[in-house]
Amino acid sequence: MSYPADSKPLTILIAADTYPPNVNGAAQFGYRLAKGMNGRGHDVHVLAPGSANGRSFTEPGGDWTVHRLRSHSVPTHDYWRICYPWEIRRDISLLFDQVQPDVVHIQCHYMVGEYTLYEAVRRGIRVVATNHFMPENINPFLPFPDWFKKVVARNSWRDMGKVMGKAAAVTTPTPLAAKAMRDHAFLTDVMPVSNGIDSAAYEVQPGEVIEPYEHPTVLFVGRLAEEKHVDVLIDAVARTPEHLRVHLEIVGGGEVKPALQAQAARLGIADRVTFRGLIDDDELRRSYIRASLFCQPGTAELQSLVTLEAMSASTPVLLANAMALPHLVSDGENGYLFTPGDSEELGARITQILELSGEDQRAMGAASRTMVGRHDINTTLETFEGLYYGTLSPAAAADEDGVHAAPAGSGADRPTRIQ
């Protein structure tokens, strides 16, 4: 295994099975990681599936280089692409010859990540592996009965262990996700490292005026997929008192959108539910700031970048008590957890927050902003640099709570908690 010297910038190859223009947390993290490492002076290359049919190619221009692999559409998903091993192995090998990476960072154990890791290991190149997925994330796109999906999930966990076990370091966004990987993929020394966020980007800037919505508004941002359970949120809004006139803003697209629109109409609240679709980053930032509170009812979140973004905008949050979401709530301080799938409880929590005084709602939002500080993107980038150079060891640095020493040369003199 080769360890690059820490006295020079690195050539980093980031292998991602989903990357912009895809809209999801893993794709966003891959983009932010590439941008951050490029900004720190490294030579960054991203390897990802192409977003349309055609041969493998390298995108022209850009602050860092993006290489696209030949890929194919999936009938059950509107943008996901898969790469066939027999079509990409040679292209991956040729890319290694061209790029000569010092370190490889895979973002998934499927397809692109798997075969990029195998090539790196064959060449003795250091590999860092990050897991952003739970096997349950793909269940809505598998046209099989539940018993067969469970078989697929067990095999996926097993494959994760087989593939990522070959990496020099393995990370995932939260301690809970790390525990799941230890329990199901039998991976030891999994290091929780937050995806990180530039929280200042979501604050109201000096001299900037962004008026709140006319009516109290609950915001959801994310893919409209079954595991997000946006139907529970729509039902909850319908249960709130009429005098509050609670509105719901839904940002994102996906396969269940028509069903959600029909549900809002059936419940008689279509005039209070706005489906924004995909919007640009500036409009999304304004939505976070204008909203009264943010809700994430999903049950398969490994971290939830959109929740971190909402918290950065000083917005109270209501999150399902599932997977990693509890790490983002201090009950009664910056919001509340609710029982997954329980629209009655969620409706009561929405009502509880919106009936608070304006001062108390602002205090909740301020608590969100304070809590998100531990997820600063610069800490995340420093941690990954330590893993890239081999100066930070997950086995020596991580404990059950996700506390690890700051990487050498980071300037930190105390442990940093990553959640």
Range with lowest mean pLDDT among 154-158, 287-291, 383-387: 154-158
- From CA 133, how far away is CA 35, in angstroms rounded? 22
- pLDDT for 59 equals 94
11-196+376-417 CATH, one of 3.40.190.10, 3.40.50.970, 2.70.98.10, 3.40.50.2000: 3.40.50.2000
- Contacts (Cβ under 8 Å, ≥6 apart) of 43: 9, 10, 11, 12, 64
What DSSP state is assigned to residue 246? -
State pLDDT tens for residues 257-299: 999 999 999 999 999 999 999 898 899 999 999 999 999 999 8
Range with lowest mean pLDDT among 42-56, 146-160, 165-179, 227-241: 146-160
- Which residues does residue 72 pair with via DSSP β-bridges, in sequence order? 82
200-373 CATH, one of 1.20.1250.20, 3.40.50.2000, 3.90.1150.10, 1.10.10.10: 3.40.50.2000
Mean pLDDT over residues 28-36, rounded?
93
Kindly tell me the burial class for residue 208, based on how many C-beta atoms sit within 10 Å of its own C-beta (0-12, 13-18, 19 or more): exposed
- pLDDT for 348 equals 97
Q: What is the mean pLDDT of the chain?
A: 87
State pLDDT tens for residues 331-355: 999 999 999 999 999 999 999 999 9
Asked, colleague to colleague, whether 11-196+376-417 and 200-373 share their fold, the answer is yes
Q: Are 109 and 92 in contact (CB under 8 A)?
A: no
Does residue 401 carry a pLDDT above 60?
no
- State the pTM of this model: 0.74
- pLDDT for 238 equals 97
Does residue 69 carry a pLDDT above 60?
yes
- pLDDT for 58 equals 95
Domain boundaries, the chain: 11-196+376-417, 200-373
Strands 72-73 and 416-417: unpaired
Which tokens belong to 155? Answer: 């095999």
Does residue 8 carry a pLDDT above 80?
yes
Say what percent of the chain tops pLDDT 70. Answer: 88
Provide the angle, in degrees to the nearest 10, between the axes of the packed helices 85-99 and 111-123.
Answer: 50
Say what percent of the chain tops pLDDT 90. Answer: 61
- pLDDT for 209 equals 87
Which tokens belong to 320? Answer: 């399902």
**If you count them, how many residues does the chain have?**
419
